[in-house]
Structure 1
Amino acid sequence: MTAAPVVGVLALQGDVREHVAALTACGALPRPVRRPAELDGLAGLVIPGGESTTIDKLARAFDLREPLVAALRAGLPAFGSCAGMIMLADRLVDAPADQQTFGGLDVTVRRNAFGRQTDSFEADLDSGWPAGGAFRAVFIRAPEVVGCGPDVEVLASVPRPDGARHVVAVRQGNLLATAFHPEMGGDPRVHAAFVALARAAG
C-alpha cells in the first residue's frame, strides 16, 4: 500500500480545520504549518482562505515567508483557496502597497472581486473540472484571476452579468488555486485532485 502523503496546511490564519478534515477524507495526513521546520518532508501544502494581508504579515513575523517561497520555487505542490489564491499570485490588483505574496503562479489576481462578505454566493462550476459533474462552489469575499501567463491552465470560470466570465480556478505545474472554498461545500473532489497532484509530484 502506498503511504499516505503528508500535506501541510498553512496554519497562520483562516479556515485551517476545514482543510484538515477535507485532506483527511481524501487519504492524506495533514500537518499544520506555522514554523519553517514544519515544511520539511511535505508532499504538498494548502494555503487556506482567510485574510491575505494578515497571512502575509504573520508569515513574515514567524520567519516562514522566505523558506515557503524557496520550497515553492523548488517544486513543492501547493493549493491556495480564496486568500490562498491571492498568496500564490505573482501580481495583485487593488492590494495595499506593502502586501507581499508567496508567488509562483503567473497570474494577476484582483482581491475582493465579487464584493463584501454580504455579497457571498454559491455557483455551479460546469466546466468539467473537477471531474464528476457540476461542482457547487462557495464564494466569500472572493478574488478572481484577471490575467494569466502562457503556462497557466484555466480550469473553471463563472458568468458575470455582462456575459463575460470570471476565472475562478487555475493550475500551473504543481500549483493549483481556486477563488472559492471547496473545503466548505462537503464535496471532496478538489482536495482529491490536489492530493493526486501531490502524489504524482512526489
Structure 2
Amino acid sequence: MSAPVIGVLALQGGVAEHQRVLDRLGVAHRRVRRPADLADLAGIILPGGESTTISRLLRTEGLAGPLAAALAGGLPAFGTCAGMILLAEEVLDTRPDAVRLGALPVTVRRNAFGRQAQSFEADLAVRGVAGEVHAVFIRAPQVTAVGPGVEVLARVPAGHGPHSGAVVAVRHGAVLATSFHPECAPGEDRLHRLFLTGCAGIDLPAAAGETGR
C-alpha cells in the first residue's frame, strides 16, 4: 500500500513552510495547483497568505469547485490564517465575490487583529495539544461565531487587550483551522500532528514527551 499523501494548496502564501513541517514528520506531500492534483489525497493544507489573491487564483485555475466538492465529500483539511478564511462558511470584511469553500461552519472576520504593524505573538493553550503553543498572528482573522458541532480549541489568553478571549483555533470533524501560523514557529509541529493523526488518520511516530499520552 502506498504512503498517504497530503496536499498543500500552492497558489500563493506560506507553502514551503508547511512542506518543511511535513518533511520533518516524514509525511509525503504534493503541491496542489490544479484539479487533477486533488486525486487520492489523504488531506489538504490551506496555507496563510493573501486570502483574496488565493480566492482569485482558485477560480482562475478551476480549483474552487473541485476543492469545495472534495471537502464536502469528506477530504480532511487544515487551514492556517488565510486558509481558515477560505474554509469558512461566512467571512466578514472581504470582497463579495471571494471564494467560500464552506467546509467549516463558522463566521470569520478577515484582518480582525489589524494590519501588518499590529501583528503579535502569544502563548496559547490548545485543546488536544500538550503544553503551550507559541502562536504567530500576522494580519490574522478571528472566529466571531461557531455553528453546531464546532469545537473551540484555543482563545487568545488574558493580557492581550481587546484580543483577549478571541477564538483562534477550531475543529469541525475532519477540518481544523487556526488564525495563527504554527508553521512559522521554530520547531513547532504539534498542530500538524493533531491534523494528521486526528483528522487525516495518519499514524505518526510519537514525539518526544508524548509516550503514554
- Give the TM-score normalised by structure 1: 0.94
CA RMSD, aligned part only? 1.7
**Residue-by-residue CA offset, 1:145-201 (whole Å, 9 max, x unaligned):** 00000210000000452585100000000100000001000211011111112126x
**Residue-by-residue CA offset, 1:81-137 (whole Å, 9 max, x unaligned):** 00000000000111112212111100000000111111111100124x342201100
**Residue-by-residue CA offset, 1:3-23 (whole Å, 9 max, x unaligned):** 542000000000100001111
For this pair of structures, how many residues does the alignment match? Answer: 199
Where do residues 7-156 of structure 1 align in structure 2 (5 Å cutoff)? 7-127=6-126, 129-156=127-154
Q: Secondary structure at the match of 1:115?
A: coil
Distance 2:142 2:2 in 1: 35
Structure 2 letter corresponding to 1:131: V
Larger relative contact order, structure 1 or 2 (CA cutoff 8 Å, min sep 6)? 1
In 2 relative to 1, CA 13–162 (structure 1 residues): closer, same or farther, beyond 3 Å? closer
- 8 Å Cα contact 1:8-1:45 kept in structure 2: yes
Give the alignment partner of residue 201 of structure 2, picking from 194, 199, 202: 199
Distance 1:58 1:162 in 2: 34
Unaligned runs of 5+ in 1: none
Structure 2 letter corresponding to 1:194: F
Distance 2:154 2:43 in 1: 22
Q: Percent identity?
A: 56
- 8 Å Cα contact 1:156-1:168 kept in structure 2: yes
Q: Does 1:185 align with 2:185?
A: yes
In 2 relative to 1, CA 8–162 (structure 1 residues): closer, same or farther, beyond 3 Å? closer
**Residue-by-residue CA offset, 1:18-66 (whole Å, 9 max, x unaligned):** 0011112122111000010000010000000001111110010000110
**Divergent runs of 4+, >6 A:** none
